[in-house]
Chain A
Amino acid sequence: MGYPNTLQGDHATPYETGSVQLYPLGQRLECPNGLVFRYAQMGASVAGVIAKLYQSEVPGANFDALAITTDIAVGDIKVAFANGVTVITEDMFEGGYLCVEETDDLGEPHRIRANTAHNGISAEPVTAWLYDGDSFRTVVTVAANNVVTLVKSPYRGIIVHPSPPTAMVVGIPRVVIAVNAYGWVQTHGVASCVTEGTLVIGQEVRPSVNADGAVINLDYDGGVAGLGCVGRVIEVAPTTDFSHIFLTLEGA
């Protein structure tokens, strides 16, 4: 399956949601006026809300440094590894990434197209396939410290960012996305977001450490600047209300 790197949408596209996945997670959508969105799946527990900043599902450590069970040859398009005790569902890592960790000089990253399931008990390895056209570039043999680390797509199972955030912030939905449903989260351009405190027009904002899903002034000597800039203020609403923010999550 192939999609253009960036879809060109109209003004109405970001308001579309559905229970059936139409695009790869993380698919980029650009709309008139330079607005950028990413295709995302809402988390399984709480229905989405409008105008709050979302983050990825919290990545657990159980998929870090899993031992490969078969040598990787140059040109291989899949890798087999031993799972721990955490259940892996089929294609849970679709659209996610794996990184080959090897003591010497690797760190080779690849995107995951599909994976087999694992019940967290069986001795059978799990297999993950790379996207069409991608392949491993370096030989990796089965040995101690030759492992892979897997992460899900940052846009799978998104949640309103807790205060403070516990994973990478990924965007703001313009419409309610139901539990487990799919839709678009905005990452760049003029957006609406709930705010904490009194913002300063023209200055930067960061995720709040006090109010879930909110943004607050980015004060570089305020002690929590490390959360980073997520955008600039266009218009200031009262605290807990919604302000116009120029989002810059795609980098600026």
Chain B
Amino acid sequence: MGIQAAPYHTHSNQRFPLGQVMELPDGRIYRYAENGAVALAAAKLCQTMALGANFDTLAIQAARAVGTTTIPFTTSGSTVAENQFADGTVVVEDVALNLGEIYPVKSNTSAADPATCTLTLHDGVTVLNALTTTGKVTVRVNPWKQVIVVPTVAPSQMVVGVPQVIVGISAYGWLQTHGVCNVVVDATVTAWVIGQGVRPSEDDAGGAAFLDFDEAAQADKGLIGFAIIAGTDLDFAPIFLRIE
């Protein structure tokens, strides 16, 4: 539980785990996030960092027995920084064995490319099924790591919230994911309709546009909230955010 002022706090050092949930007395929900390389503007919709495909389907470097707490994999195409995947996840991909297990990552070693990166699972979590070197893993950072404002064209990653305050470069702060929230209005094509849905904008970075389910490709961006007022194009207006 947070106090009303908490969402306005930013930190130069990490105070909470990334993705930490904070709920305010009126039910608004926030997630603790790390900003990326560009300062975040207030009231603009943010997305998770783009990780690319270099962390998909990576070879398991050494077999692991049931009950072990680490998973080593071989990097391919990218280096890995120490603890880059802390509070992220690893999925075991092995359709033949019908796996698909997901584990929370506590920490990881740094690794050159190609080299071995070893993931350590969170306390108490162990490998459920034996892993062999024929297996593959896909790793992902925490969704609230190095977030960026949603680009102009469309989200290229999952939307993760709206900051209420400027968050400096590489600083930490709170992104709102639920409840009454201010966001940039995109009314270029269609004005918002009070009480109806809004989606990520395709015209304005970090903006929200009217969700018209007949607007084929744009509707697939999905609902992020409901308009509280009609708003004015490129101005700010309150919505009831429903990212989670």
- Give A residues with C-beta under 8 Å from B: 10-12, 15, 30, 32-34, 49-52, 174-176, 188, 190-194, 200-204, 217-221, 225, 229, 232-237, 240-244, 246, 248, 251-252
Question: When the two chains form their complex, are residues A50 and B17 in contact, meaning their CB atoms are under 8 A apart?
Answer: no
The winner among B20, B142, B219 for most chain A CB atoms within 10 A is B219
Residues in B neighbouring A252, C-beta threshold 8 A:
223, 242-244
Separation of A52 and B156 alpha carbons in the complex (Å): 25
Separation of A169 and B115 alpha carbons in the complex (Å): 41
| B164 in contact (CB, < 8 A) | no
| B26 in contact (CB, < 8 A) | no
Question: When the two chains form their complex, are residues B158 and A241 in contact, meaning their CB atoms are under 8 A apart?
Answer: no
A192 contacts which of B102, B121, B158 (Cβ < 8 Å)?
B102
Residues in A neighbouring B155, C-beta threshold 8 A:
202
Separation of A246 and B157 alpha carbons in the complex (Å): 11
Separation of A240 and B213 alpha carbons in the complex (Å): 28
For the A-B complex, the count of residue pairs with Cβ-Cβ distances under 8 Å equals: 141
| B143 in contact (CB, < 8 A) | yes
Question: When the two chains form their complex, are residues B138 and A33 in contact, meaning their CB atoms are under 8 A apart?
Answer: no
Question: When the two chains form their complex, are residues B138 and A237 in contact, meaning their CB atoms are under 8 A apart?
Answer: yes
Question: When the two chains form their complex, are residues A12 and B156 in contact, meaning their CB atoms are under 8 A apart?
Answer: no
- What is the predominant secondary structure among interface residues of chain B facing chain A? loop
A34 contacts which of B31, B138, B219 (Cβ < 8 Å)?
B31
Q: How far is the CB of A228 from chain B (nearest CB, A)?
A: 11
Ranked 6 nearest A-B pairs via Cβ: A12-B124, A51-B100, A11-B122, A242-B100, A192-B102, A220-B219
Residues in B neighbouring A49, C-beta threshold 8 A:
98
B157 nearest CB neighbor, chain A only: A202
Residues in A neighbouring B56, C-beta threshold 8 A:
235-237
A35 nearest CB neighbor, chain B only: B104
A200 contacts which of B122, B124, B220 (Cβ < 8 Å)?
B220
Question: When the two chains form their complex, are residues B102 and A11 in contact, meaning their CB atoms are under 8 A apart?
Answer: no
Q: How far is the CB of B17 from chain A (nearest CB, A)?
A: 6
0/1 string, B100-114, CB within 8 A of A gives 1: 111010100000000
0/1 string, B214-231, CB within 8 A of A gives 1: 101001111100000000
B159 nearest CB neighbor, chain A only: A202
Question: When the two chains form their complex, are residues B17 and A11 in contact, meaning their CB atoms are under 8 A apart?
Answer: no
Separation of A12 and B125 alpha carbons in the complex (Å): 5
Separation of A49 and B222 alpha carbons in the complex (Å): 29
Separation of A25 and B124 alpha carbons in the complex (Å): 24
Q: How far is the CB of B128 from chain A (nearest CB, A)?
A: 6
A217 nearest CB neighbor, chain B only: B220
Question: When the two chains form their complex, are residues B31 and A244 in contact, meaning their CB atoms are under 8 A apart?
Answer: no
Question: When the two chains form their complex, are residues B123 and A10 in contact, meaning their CB atoms are under 8 A apart?
Answer: yes
Question: When the two chains form their complex, are residues B216 and A221 in contact, meaning their CB atoms are under 8 A apart?
Answer: yes
Question: When the two chains form their complex, are residues B158 and A202 in contact, meaning their CB atoms are under 8 A apart?
Answer: yes
B140 contacts which of A175, A194, A234 (Cβ < 8 Å)?
A234
Question: When the two chains form their complex, are residues B220 and A190 in contact, meaning their CB atoms are under 8 A apart?
Answer: no
